[in-house]
Amino acid sequence: MNVQLERIKMNDVVLHVAEAGPKHGRLVILLHGFPEYWEAWEGYFEPLVAAGYHVVAPDQRGYNLSDKPSKVAAYDLNALAVDVLGLADHFGQRCFTVVGHDWGGLVGWWIATCHAQRLEQLVLLNAPHPSIWREAMRSHPEQRRRSWYVSFFRLPWLPEALLRRRRFKALADTISQRARPDAVTAAALDRYRAAWREPGALTGMLNWYRAIWRTNLPPSSELRFITPVLLIWGEQDAFGVRALAEGSLRLCENGQAIYLQDATHWVQHDEPERCVKALLDFLGHSIRRSPSE
């Protein structure tokens, strides 16, 4: 299978994008989270393309080979969502599906919140709605404990300095905490380190955390989604409690959840076969909205 790598200019940034599959196929945009990049979805291209989908996976702004604006405001959820809309426009598609893990899922939720008419389906992997997450940070002591690092990441320059130490050991350890001991090879870790080493990358990645506290998020009580939603949740997530998933799902009129008992936050790596099957089943059978709804 041929995965093409290209740089695409949209809005105020240039994104590095991996693309495969038939141009006429339904567009599926795969959004990675922190601290990954487009290769987080490497094993998902082949089954999706074989099923006839046009698959696009960007390095999101601030990551790897994409542009890295210096200002925190450039990482507001609105800007991140517009990047995804711009990708769909570039490929000539009004409507599309988002599959997002971690921060990539939060971007997907925000598209469903602000641009629902563009979204056919939404698949989240260990990614709550940002309003649910921020409310839990105020009211759920265990979630505050698990997200202790979020407050640290808000500090200027110090997080970058510490994360850079010992060849990015803290980041390497984080992505290695998966259910499968052999899930991250030495070669893959080297590619991650190369992405983190890109000029401005650490600051760009951390600016996502800095910006979320400045974003005006609606109360979850005001939210209701009719876009079909599939939420896949690894129950051994060290960073998020299951209540985040349950609260997010309650916002959906057409939502379903799959809880994987032995999977971690890195559910798409821990259980790739089950995630791929669930994804393909959902894309093929869930009720799709028309753009006029």
- pLDDT single digits (tens) 262-288: 999 999 999 999 999 999 999 998 645
pLDDT (tens digit per residue) in 193-232: 999 999 999 999 999 999 999 999 999 999 999 999 999 9
Judge whether 24 counts as a catalytic residue.
no
Selecting among 54, 129, 209, 270, the annotated active-site residue is 209
Q: Give the pLDDT mean for 20-30.
A: 97
Q: What H or E segment, with its residue span, contains residue 48?
A: helix 42-50
**Whole-angstrom distance, CA of residue 250 vs CA of residue 247:** 5
Nearest to 160 by CA among 204, 128, 119: 204
290, pLDDT greater than 60:
no
**Whole-angstrom distance, CA of residue 55 vs CA of residue 33:** 17
Our measurement of the distance from residue 60's CA atom to the centroid of its chain's CA atoms, rounded to an integer in Å, reads: 9
Domain boundaries, the chain: 4-213+224-284
pLDDT (tens digit per residue) in 106-130: 999 999 999 999 999 999 999 999 9
Cβ atoms of 229 and 122 closer than 8 Å: yes
Residue 16 sits at φ, ψ, to 5 deg, of: -85, 125
Contacts of 140 (CB under 8 A, 6+ apart): 241, 243
pTM, to two decimals: 0.96
Peptide bond into 181 cis (omega under 30): no
Mean pLDDT of the residues in the chain: 95
3-class SS of residue 88: helix
Q: What is the pLDDT of residue 292?
A: 41
Q: What is the pLDDT of residue 8?
A: 98
Judge whether 265 counts as a catalytic residue.
yes
Selecting among 102, 192, 269, 270, the annotated active-site residue is 102
CATH of 4-213+224-284, one of 2.30.30.60, 3.40.50.1820, 3.30.450.370, 1.20.120.1200: 3.40.50.1820
Percentage above 90 pLDDT, the chain: 95
Judge whether 102 counts as a catalytic residue.
yes
162, pLDDT greater than 50:
yes
**Whole-angstrom distance, CA of residue 13 vs CA of residue 15:** 6
Q: Give the pLDDT mean for 11-24.
A: 96
Q: Give the pLDDT mean for 154-174.
A: 97
Structure token pair of residue 108: 């997907």
Q: What is the pLDDT of residue 235?
A: 98
Cβ atoms of 97 and 87 closer than 8 Å: no
67, pLDDT greater than 50:
yes
- How many Cβ atoms from other residues are within 10 Å of residue 135's Cβ? 19
81, pLDDT greater than 50:
yes
Residue 261 sits at φ, ψ, to 5 deg, of: -60, -35
**Whole-angstrom distance, CA of residue 19 vs CA of residue 95:** 17
Selecting among 54, 101, 129, 265, the annotated active-site residue is 265
Structure token pair of residue 4: 């093409």
3-class SS of residue 234: strand
